Chain A
């Protein structure tokens, strides 16, 4: 009996693995509105896996791959604010609720889990929209991040240039295995 259980458990693991979907297209952007200058950046190099069985979702965003309008902004972003040499990635590991893979079309869902930016981890909850569309799954979310929450420090002289809160947009397209 124990053996059977074990075999079943191992099998269940494989079965779950079969539900893992890897993102084939990712888009992450952020936008910071401030009195002097709006700052925006885009990144298409993020990676993500969504397990539609366990509802686990993880993603990893390489900080150095954010592209800005100004070369100097990118340099400052990496060198001074996000310190990408020390903390090369922002990651999220969490669970999706409110989504059923049996339902097609748009569904409002929530992901709850651990966001790590600039080496600081926080539990967050992100509302989003998941769409099933012909073997593809599209996850979209817009949420706000407070820089202070992740110990991203802005020099006093620059505070008018950089908002304390930035709006992050993610848009992942997964292909079923």
Chain B
């Protein structure tokens, strides 16, 4: 009797609960780990500017960017399509957090080189970090006009950018980013501008489907002198991802694609129709194994 009751208990209780209990036990025995947030943004560019995203180690990305003329330039110019500026760029991941890149933009025939370093990663679990922070520095040189104007020296063509990119992925669908920026120009028209330009950028991404996202970006310039004829840059875009490509279709009042040009020297008034259609297309190649 005793035996049979015991057997019955064993037979009924264990097969019913033991596996799920065992799974629970397994999950409870797990030590808390640091869970890093990944894919805050689809690519290294938000609209015109940078994102916190670093390339993976050994990954080479080719970036082809293109900005047409202003849509309000009329049918004679086919609403801007007759005129286009491009930037050809390469970026390489030295480590998972450190990247190096360079490119050439046809606006003022500007060449730029940059470093990006992601030094904080948003994480939860064993370590709680609310944001991902990447430092970005670049140097750029305008090589146009070919002959140096009288009274200028060659280094007058140089500019430098320092940026902190601070982003948080609030949910799989929503990421926001702040971009405090300083741009130093070796030479400016001092009646209208200081050498150093301070700006604060804000931007974000909203995923619509798992391959399509809406993006926007705005840079507010803070230390303006009276008579400054430039405007804050504003851009909106759609990210479409297919395999190793990210295709970004953008609308922006800026035509330049280097930091000095689009943050500091945007002339278009977005709401008056000075909108440039453009796209950024990236293609990734893995040169070295990620592991």
Contacts and interface: CB of A to CB of B under 8 A. Distances in A.
Interface of A: 1, 4-5, 8-9, 12, 16, 20, 22, 47-49, 51, 54, 56, 58-60, 62, 64, 67-72, 74-76, 78-80, 83, 85-86, 88, 91, 93-95, 113-114, 155, 157-158, 161
Interface residues of B, number: 43
Given A5-B6, A71-B55, A94-B19, A49 B243 contact: no
A91 B23 contact: yes
**Dominant secondary structure of chain B at its interface with chain A:** mixed
Contact of A93 (B5, B6, B22, B57): B22
A58 B26 contact: yes
Contacts of A93: 19-20, 22-23
Contact of B19 (A12, A20, A113): A113
A44 to B, nearest CB: 11
A74 B33 CA distance: 19
B19 A75 contact: no
Interface in B56-106: 56-59, 93, 96
17 contacts: A4-B2, A51-B22, A60-B30, A64-B35, A64-B38, A69-B291, A70-B290, A71-B55, A71-B56, A71-B286, A74-B56, A79-B38, A80-B241, A85-B172, A88-B35, A93-B23, A95-B15
Interface in B158-210: 172, 210
Contact of B244 (A47, A72, A78, A79): A72
B284 A72 contact: yes
Contact of B39 (A56, A67, A75, A86): A75
A60 B26 contact: yes
Contact of A75 (B14, B18, B25, B38): B38
Contacts of A83: 172, 210
A16 B17 CA distance: 13
B152 interface: no
B5 to A, nearest CB: 5
Nearest to B291: A67
A79 B40 CA distance: 10
A48 to B, nearest CB: 7
Given A70-B59, A76-B243, 18 more contacts: A5-B9, A9-B10, A51-B22, A54-B18, A56-B18, A58-B26, A60-B27, A64-B35, A69-B289, A71-B55, A74-B56, A75-B56, A80-B211, A88-B35, A93-B19, A93-B23, A157-B242, A157-B243
Interface string B267-291: 0000000000000000010100111
B8 to A, nearest CB: 10
A150 B164 CA distance: 41
A5 B4 CA distance: 10
B290 A68 contact: yes
A5 B19 contact: no
Contacts of A80: 210-211, 241
B179 to A, nearest CB: 22
Contact of B286 (A47, A60, A72, A94): A72
B243 A71 contact: no
A5 B2 contact: yes
Given A47-B30, A51-B18, A71 B93 contact: yes
Nearest to A20: B22
Contacts of A157: 242-243
A155 B291 CA distance: 26
A62 to B, nearest CB: 8
Nearest to A74: B290
Contacts of A74: 56, 290
Contacts of A54: 14-15, 18
A2 to B, nearest CB: 8
A119 to B, nearest CB: 13
Interface in B1-56: 1-2, 5-6, 9-10, 13-15, 18-20, 22-23, 25-27, 29-30, 33, 35-36, 38-39, 55-56
B6 A9 contact: yes
- Among B15, B58, B243, find the residue whose CB has the most chain A CB atoms closer than 10 A: B243
- Among B6, B10, B22, find the residue whose CB has the most chain A CB atoms closer than 10 A: B22
Contacts of B242: 155, 157-158
